[in-house]
Amino acid sequence: MRQIVAIAANAFMELVRQPVYLLLMTSAVLFEIFLATPYYFAFGDEPKLVKNSVLAVMFLTGLLGAVLSASASLSRELRSGTALAVLSKPVGRAQFLIAKYIGVIGALTVMLYVTAVAALVAGRMAFDAYGKTDLAAVGIFALAVAVAYAFGGFVNFFLHRPFVSGAVGALVVTVTIAAFVIVQFTTQMQSLGEVATVDWRLVPAAILILFAVWILAALALACSTRLDMIPTLAVCSAFFLVGLMSDYLFGRRAQPVWQQDLRVELMSTRWSPEQKNLLKTMLAKYDKDNSGRLEPIEQDSISPADKAAMTRAGMGGSRLAGVLYTVTPNWQLFWMADVLETGKTGFPWQYVAKAAVYMLCYVAAALAVAVVLFEERELSQAQ
């Protein structure tokens, strides 16, 4: 346990000392604030547009941060031979990988915390056609970033400590203080006669994005056991894009047809006339409310013989699609921007708990694959 803590702490400190880490964090928070400054023409949905945009920035920042952190933490050490020196001590490869992962997600959590604070500020700064740009908030936030960089320069020049880690630590503190000052001591008119407030629903939405980033970090770490940074970025980007479309690519094909909208399926060209006749029979027999689709209670009432007939007709769902749908991470599960629509209140925290279980299962599977790939890799002094 002591070795895991030491390796994780060392990996965390190495990552927060990377200049690209500081640049990525700073660019993300400044861009989030910038998104809340211009005028938009969204027909009254400008605040929603800004909130969705800052969450998207958080997601992409997490993707880049996960790949860069995993590559810097693992693949670089494998090439330089540092990993061999660590593994020559009584440290197993599985322990080494788990410790590296803990260090990586620690650094990513710090980055996502800063971007989440900036997202809360940007959400409060958002305004519609009748509002105006919150210049006071822009100035306070810009001053916070400048103070953090100045502190990093101070500790580097006078105390001979690393500039990047000093600036990162200061940025966490100054951004938090700036957000508190903006919320407590400034006023922003979101619309005509409407004072802006902090949308705290962004907090659970940001937590869900953090879960997704932890999954990306596990995938990036698994790729980094065999690949360099650019191939790792390509593989993780592919997982990211395919995962965004997994419901469309695999989800519909994996589900039995009776769990889908049968009206849409009857107009689909993927079914033959015989299959469509079977669908019409199912609708006539089980669709009691004539809604065009079978509700969960109606699905439960389908007889085993009818389900078997549908399966024999090739309408029971594709097994290959089911496997691909299971293997591919579904990022839509972590994207809850629709809950932030104007007028909706509250946030389903039970859903966050279920997403956490999904995240833990996927991370465990990805790390298991990473351990297998790492166990079979030969190490040398310099690769």
Q: Are 105 and 15 within 8 A, CB to CB?
A: no
Q: Are 170 and 152 within 8 A, CB to CB?
A: yes
Q: Which residues of the chain have pLDDT under 70?
A: 42-44, 79-89, 341-347, 378-383
| pLDDT at residue 195, as a whole number | 84
Q: Are 117 and 179 within 8 A, CB to CB?
A: yes
| pLDDT at residue 83, as a whole number | 66
β-bridge partners, 195: 189
Distance (Å) of CA 231 to CA 47, 324, 364: 37, 22, 22
CA dist 317 and 120 (Å) reads 42
For residue 129 the two structure tokens come to 């056609």
Place of tokens 């001979």: 160
Q: How many CA atoms lie within 13 A of 280 on its CB side?
A: 9
Q: For 297, phi and psi rounded to 5 degrees? A: -65, -40
| pLDDT at residue 145, as a whole number | 97
Q: Are 99 and 83 within 8 A, CB to CB?
A: no
Per the rule left: phi > 0, alpha: psi between -120 and 50, beta: everything else, 193 is left
**Tens-place pLDDT, residues 251-279:** 878 888 877 877 877 887 778 888 888 88
Exposed (0-12), middle (13-18) or buried (19+): which is 200, by Cβ within 10 Å? exposed
pTM of the model: 0.88
Q: Are 336 and 208 within 8 A, CB to CB?
A: yes
| pLDDT at residue 161, as a whole number | 94
Q: How many CA atoms lie within 13 A of 157 on its CB side?
A: 6
Amino acid at 264: V
**Tens-place pLDDT, residues 355-378:** 999 999 999 999 999 999 888 776
Q: Are 20 and 74 within 8 A, CB to CB?
A: no
| pLDDT at residue 278, as a whole number | 86
End-to-end C-alpha distance for the chain, whole angstroms = 29
